Structure 1
């Protein structure tokens, strides 16, 4: 089988600029000519084996990063944007989108931002939103979406925050974090109270008292303590990270700060090195890991999707959380599988069936239209209100990876991985899904022609050509 050529010009150029080297100096260190480096950086030539080895030996570069990064995410996001009817029935070929993502990622992001602004404006007009008539109204992404994209394009791994959390956790020694976290508060001069309250967490800045709800599970209480520690003791680090992100609004910055504090809490509860070793030893058994680290199933699943530290990467997982309406409320993918930015997940995913079997893990072998096969795990993670009459928040999560990593997962045991019929056909979004005979299709694919016969009716009222 011929080896697939590696075009990674944007990543190569980004690496050189991060090192502060000119093309001439970089070419010399890689042992190639200046014109050859220029051609590689502009994707006119693939990255050679000589360059890959030189990157690893000369700079200690994790060469697996050359084949990852933003390209697949950008292509997926652009395809979904191009599925908007405003672009008509002749979207650019997929090859053109891939070239744009590889050669001009900044342009691709600008296009995605522009389409997002258009969508939001269109939705405001459709709902007669008076905000457009106000002088202070501006076209900008919602703060929530901006923050979600920040984590998405950081590969859901924030190195400085992750390492700071790991260092803080190391101070506990052999003590479990659920016991050490209250000590961290005490050392910081903060009083901890647990009371009957609708509020999960409340910090009184004047009295320096942290109050947690007694309705919350123990692992949630520990998480909230660590989150508060992050806000108090890691404020400079969080603010520096926010400065780097350059959010467009104060609302987005405030949301992102909470997100970074949440990240710190998860990383302190499950320190990177120890958690990665435990995950490998337990073959990524979520229940065993939850017990070992006094964490919830959702916390463990989310943490597994963040193990992307250069030089010490875990299995590339995707992680998604959906509500009962199928709307994605959390999403991240370190795999080739990317999620729809708008709307819900493919209805054929087992995550939607998890609500029907509370407390149980559902396994699924699935194949996407590009032929990549995955093993998916789904479970409901509904959160009771803790009192009679209090609302229950109902969610389900899905965690998955490419089936080539199946040996490292306890959930793959006894599955027939070699049987093609065992894999369910799934997609991303109906408008960009290439499957022609999907019985769950909600709208026609934008890139295909339709054939309608009034004398014939199949599962769908049309045929996709």
Structure 2
């Protein structure tokens, strides 16, 4: 492992427990001067001391990991990029995140509130401009709040995953029978109206309405999700309260947790992970074996981080043709920019031109990190002529050091530097000035779409 210099985090833990340096040093069986050097980042936190810290202070040593740091660094860089006069370097941002993650998150919360206020101001301005007095201000987006919570937990929720694994038979008929034990009746709903394509639960009548167009596998997933809200309501509520979600995000958080439970029921952890290892993470084989879709397998693979029995750490993304990212989960240190969009050279967008095919790409980020990505288009929606459908591209990636564990690395020379395609976090925050696909200048350079200096007039 790399050297961990996070002395301020350790100092904060010590002060929260009202311990002196001498007292904590004695508990860790080290000298006070050694502890003082660690807190001042003059010495790194070794594995042995990390384990002792976890034992004596009752914390998970993962709080000193760099998993969450990568996302925080990228988010902070985006935030500071909105202030052209801000004199902050990448090194300073990394130091802030490593030593004071609480301050870093507070900066992001301030940015989020600023954006919320700006959006509402724009809505009010629009209201007065066009004379429409009935305009309603849209509530702030809660997707990022829920997504950040899941990523901070490496997308693994042990409190729900283990109970889900105990259910056993996850077929639609078995789950329907289990719901009936709770007095719940499952009925088909019409595929029209505002609730099209969604499950609806009438708590008073104990009726679960499911869209007629759902496949048997999709019906099983929705029934499992409702089952989680019935049998583990206290656990879900405790998780939501502990995470301190905003009031507008609580319902979305409950939905995300119920869907997590459903995925864990349909793809039970140990059996699914063993199957994945046996077939070297061949997604189509796994989908066929468990009777689920390509996207469901990719989504579940991004959650396989049970302590002591973890799977391949992967990144999972779902995008549409317009480049909107509707799902983004990372079990490792990878993060796409929120403000800068995504890169047109990324293989996920190529998937729309090759329906049904699994594409692969070795891609290198500007910081030198390299990953193996696979992508495939997926389509869903009701059957029938001219019936509305949904089309997405699904991408799954892992660090190049772990790529040999995937069947998709077969035939690729992972060590050849010219194999990797240079991609970035999006034009706004990408430093690659020589990129042929650049749409507009990076805020970190003087590059322009034509290759001229942005500060120099064109001839």
- TM-score normalised by the chain length of structure 1: 0.86
Please tell me whether the aligned partners of residues 116 and 141 of structure 1 are also in contact (alpha carbons under 8 angstroms). Answer: no
The aligned length equals 447
Q: 1:129 to 1:303 in 2, by over 3 A?
A: farther
Q: Following superposition of structure 1 onto structure 2, how do residues 313-392 of structure 1 map, counting pairs within 5 Å?
A: 313-342=310-339, 344-392=341-389
Distance 1:252 1:268 in 2: 24
Counterpart among 213, 221, 235 of residue 219 in structure 2: 221
Query: CA separation of 1:151/1:289 partners in 2, compared to 1, >3 Å: closer, same or farther?
Result: same
1:14-25 equivalent positions in 2, closer than 5 A: 24=22
Q: Distance in 1 between matches of 2:339 and 2:15?
A: 34
Q: Mean alpha-carbon deviation: is it higher for 240-249 or for 202-211?
A: 202-211
Gaps of 5+ in 1: 453-457
Question: 1:427–1:58: structure 2 CA closer, same or farther, 3 Å change rule?
Answer: same
TM-score of the pair, normalised by structure 2: 0.87
Q: Give secondary structure in 2 for the equivalent of 1:302.
A: helix
Residues 257-294 of structure 1, C-alpha deviation per residue, up to 9 Å, x if partnerless?
A: 11111111111111222222221112111112112222
Q: 1:18 to 1:366 in 2, by over 3 A?
A: farther
Matching residue within 97, 102, 105 for 1:106? 102
Distance 2:16 2:305 in 1: 19
1:154 aligns with 2:150: no
CA distance in 2, matches of 1:211, 1:140: 27
Aligned to 1:118: 114
Task: Give the structure 2 partner of residue 455 of structure 1.
Answer: none
Change (3 A) 1:191 1:377: same
Residue pairs, 1:230-309, within 5 angstroms = 230-249=228-247, 251-309=248-306
Tell me, yes or no, if structure 1 residue 425 matches structure 2 residue 422.
yes
TM-superposed CA distance for 1:166, in Å, is 2.1
Structure 2 residue matching 1:381: 3-state secondary structure: strand
Tell me whether 215-224 or 66-75 shows the greater mean CA deviation: 66-75
* Equivalent position of 1:142 in the other structure: 141
Q: Using the TM superposition, name which of 121-130 and 151-160 deviates more.
A: 121-130
C-alpha separation between the residues in 2 aligned to 1:334 and 1:12? 24
* Alignment-derived partner of residue 186 in structure 2: 192
Q: How much has 1:325 moved relative to structure 2?
A: 0.6
Q: Give SS of 1:330's match.
A: strand
Distance 1:352 1:146, change over 3 A: same
Deviation of residue 212 (structure 1)? Answer: 1.9
How far apart are residue 80 of structure 1 and its match? 1.1
Question: Shift in Å at residue 14 of structure 1?
Answer: 7.7
Q: Structure 1 pair 16/160, CA: closer, same or farther in 2 (3 Å)?
A: farther
Per the TM alignment, residue 220 of structure 1 is displaced from its structure 2 partner at its CA by: 1.1
Instruction: Give the whole-Å Cα distance in 2 for the aligned partners of 1:160 and 1:27.
Output: 33
Flag structure 2 segments of 5+ consecutive residues without an equivalent. Answer: none
The structural deviation recorded for 1:374 is 0.5
Quick one: distance in 2 between partners of 1:233 and 1:176? 15
| In structure 2, distance between residues paired with 1:427 and 1:77 | 15
> Alpha carbons of 1:158 and 1:16: their partners in 2 closer, same or farther (altered >3 Å)?
farther
Q: Give the 3 Å change call, closer, same or farther, for CA 16–393 of structure 1 in structure 2.
A: farther
Residues 1:412 and 2:409 aligned together? yes
Bigger drift between 34-43 and 148-157 goes to: 34-43
Aligned mates of 1:10, 1:162 — CA distance in 2: 33
Please give the alpha-carbon distance, in whole angstroms, between the structure 1 residues aligned to 2:102 and 2:232.
31
Q: Give CA deviations for 1:202-257 in whole Å, capped at 9, x if unaligned.
A: 323233222322311222111100011011111111111111111222x2111111
Which has the larger displacement, 209-218 or 363-372? 209-218
Give the superposition deviation at 1:343. 5.4
Change in Cα spacing, 1:13 to 1:292, as seen in structure 2 (3 Å) is: farther
**Distance in 2, Cα, partners of 1:218 & 1:20:** 56
Counterpart of 1:164 in structure 2 is 163
Q: Please say if residues 113 and 141 of structure 1, whose CA atoms lie closer than 8 Å, have aligned partners that are also in contact.
A: no
Inter-CA distance 109–65: structure 2 relative to 1 (3 Å threshold): closer
Aligned position for 1:393 = 390
Q: CA deviation at 1:334?
A: 2.5
Shift of 1:301: 0.5
Q: 309-318 vs 382-391, which deviates more?
A: 382-391
Structure-2 change in CA distance of 1:146 and 1:176 (3 Å): closer
Across the aligned residues of Structure 1 and Structure 2, the Cα RMSD in angstroms comes to 3.3
Which is worse superposed, 304-313 or 115-124? Answer: 115-124
For the 8 Å contact 2:80–2:86, the answer to whether it is kept is: no
